Amino acid sequence: MRDDAVQVLEQNWTGRSTVPSRSLYPHQWSWDSAFIAIGLRHVSVDRARTELESLLQAQWPDGRIPHIAFAPSVPRDAYFPGPDFWQARLANGTETSGIVQPPIHALAAWLTYQADPADSGFLERVYPGLVAWHDYLRDRRTLGPGGLVAIVHPWESGMDNSPAWDSPLARVTPAPAGSFTRRDTDHAADADRPTDLDYGRYVQLAATYRDHGYDDRETPHAFALEDPCFNALLICSEHALADIATTLGHDPARHRQYAAELTDALVERLFTAGMFRAHDLMSGDLVASDTVAGLIPLIVPGLPVADTLLATARGPRFRLGQVRLVPSYDLTAEDFDAGRYWRGPSWFNTAWLIHRGLVQLGKTESAEALRTDLLALAEATTFAEYLDPFTGEAHGARSFSWTAALALDLAT
């Protein structure tokens, strides 16, 4: 399995970064690169560092790390929406998207450093960019009164068509069907992907942001939510920044302070009925859908409600340890769909995050069981993008980079 995983990462390596999938996602994706670096550090620390540093080459002057850095060698229409849609070019010539993805990068940088602690030069190089990234989120994306950061597009959650976005998206008038051409369904089954109606809404939201210069103060955001996964990863990464700061001889206090404030806000604002839910800033309500995003705070160090959250993960809605791999959506929901993307299937990155949470909580047996399942399924599905939680059947892309990388991490 290890050799096969290394091979997948080799095939998907472009010389400076790794594409999530040669067919479906032929550019560099933000949180994919972070997960990939976490696995790559076991193959080549140099490549892991390059993966993260190349992503930082795509960072904007305002600090945001865009969700896609486009590869100039790839045909401009290979992926939709491509560079011509986003119209964002940096001074160094890099073309990018204008939205972001969950901030797991500082954690990835810290783990990459730990694979070769003799080289603190890497930390020196990435620390300022990572601080600027978190500053962007804190200063420009704290859109509500509670201190949590908000996403302004479903793609920013990394869980594009999550059922949690259904009701907030219902307010968005979709771009007309004929006004764009999807490319994802050239490479994956229609039934595994978001619907055309979803896509119309994604396009409309992105176009509005673009047409306001991606300015968070100017854009009339029609979609703004505080997502538990996004904020939980920010907290972990803020702790990682504190560790990095300490290693570099800087004062870590402000990072620990922000992490503590975010943790309090997360519990106070998003925890309800045993798990975390997204908060819709437009309606003022918590979204009544339980998705795996609501379990990801298990990785937050010192989470006061960890025991309750773990009980929910093991309960009938997610059946952690009782299905093939933890699903992306409440198994008891009427619209649960075992094959469609983020509306039910199991994903390896969320399983890896939950595994990390279990280890931190000292739940050794559960962690080991999850690790064993993840490794077996990665191999059996030839590193699928996602799978059916009941049958283990592979869905989406194969030879998918973060699946290979995270399996490699847990195998090492």
Does position 345 interact with ligand 2M8 (CB under 6 A)? The reply is: no
Burial of 178 (0-12, 13-18, 19+ CB in 10 A): exposed
Q: Which ranges of 151-221 does DSSP label H, i.e. alpha helix?
A: 166-169, 196-211
Query: Looking at 160, 226, 388, 409, which residue is catalytic?
Result: 160
Residue whose CB is less far from ligand 2M8, 263 or 403: 403
Residue of the chain from 20, 103, 228, 344 that contacts ligand 2M8 (CB under 6 A): 20
**Secondary structure (DSSP) of 20-63:** SBTTTB-SEEHHHHHHHHHHHTTT-HHHHHHHHHHHHTT--TTS
Kindly state the smallest distance separating residue 32's Cβ from ligand 2M8, in Å. 5
Q: Does 216 bind ligand 2M8 (CB under 6 A)?
A: no
In 3D space, the residue among 224, 222, 229 whose CA is nearest the CA of residue 201 turns out to be 222
Taking CB under 6 A as the binding criterion, the range among 26-34, 36-44, 261-269, 281-289 that sits at the site for ligand 2M8 is: 26-34
Q: Is 166 a catalytic residue?
A: no
User: Of residues 9, 28, 29, 82, which one binds ligand 2M8 by CB under 6 A?
Assistant: 29
Rounded least distance, CB 158 to ligand 2M8, Å: 3
Q: Indicate the residue among 349 and 366 with the shorter CB distance to ligand 2M8.
A: 349
Q: Which of 155, 165, 223, 318 binds ligand 2M8 (CB under 6 A)?
A: 155
Q: Output the CA–CA distances (angstroms, integers) from residue 295 to 128, 185, 232, 292, 328, in the order listed.
A: 30, 30, 10, 5, 10
37: amino acid identity, one letter: A
Q: Are 229 and 237 in contact, with CB atoms under 8 Å apart?
A: no
- 302 neighbors 182 (Cβ within 8 angstroms): no
225-226 vs 275-276, strand pairing mode: unpaired
The nearer residue to ligand 2M8, 177 or 248, going by C-beta atoms, is 177
Closest CB to ligand 2M8 among 23 and 120? 23
Site string for ligand 2M8, 62-81 (x = CB under 6 A): -----x--------------
**Site membership for ligand 2M8, residue 228 (CB under 6 A):** no
Pick between residue 29 and residue 85 the one whose CB is nearest to ligand 2M8. 29
Q: How far is the CB of 228 from ligand 2M8 (least distance, A)?
A: 15
Burial of 148 (0-12, 13-18, 19+ CB in 10 A): buried
CB 205 within 8 A of CB 89: no
Per rule CB under 6 A, count of chain residues that contact ligand 2M8:
10
* 168, 257, 271, 378, 381 from 264: Cα distances, Å: 25, 11, 10, 36, 39
Determine how many CB atoms are found less than 10 A away from the CB of residue 147: 17
d(CA 402, CA 404): 5
Residue 352 binds to ligand 2M8 (criterion: CB under 6 A): no
Catalytic residue among 53, 385, 388, 409: 385
Least separation, in Å, of the C-beta of 349 and ligand 2M8?
8
The question of whether 334 is a catalytic residue gets the answer no
Q: What is the DSSP secondary structure assignment for residue 118, as one 8-state letter?
A: T
Q: How far apart are CA 339 and CA 221, in angstroms?
A: 31
* CA angle 11–341–112, rounded 5-degree value: 45
Interaction between residue 223 and ligand 2M8 (CB under 6 A): no
Q: Is residue 184 close enough to count as binding ligand 2M8 by CB under 6 A? A: yes
Q: Which residues pair with 291 in a beta bridge?
A: 329
- Which is closer to ligand 2M8, CB of 345 or CB of 357? 345
- Point out which residues pair with 226 in neighbouring strands: 279
Is 86 among the residues that bind ligand 2M8 (CB under 6 A)?
A: no
Q: For ligand 2M8, which is the closer residue by CB, 32 or 373?
A: 32
Choosing from 103, 158, 344, 345, the residue that interacts with ligand 2M8 (CB under 6 A) is 158
Asked if residue 201 binds ligand 2M8 (CB under 6 A), the reply is no
Largest CA distance in the chain: 56
CB of 160 to ligand 2M8, least distance (A): 5
C-beta closer to ligand 2M8: residue 159 or 265: 159
Interface positions with ligand 2M8 (CB under 6 A)? 20, 25, 29, 31-32, 67, 155, 158, 160, 184
The residues annotated with a catalytic role in the active site are 160, 385
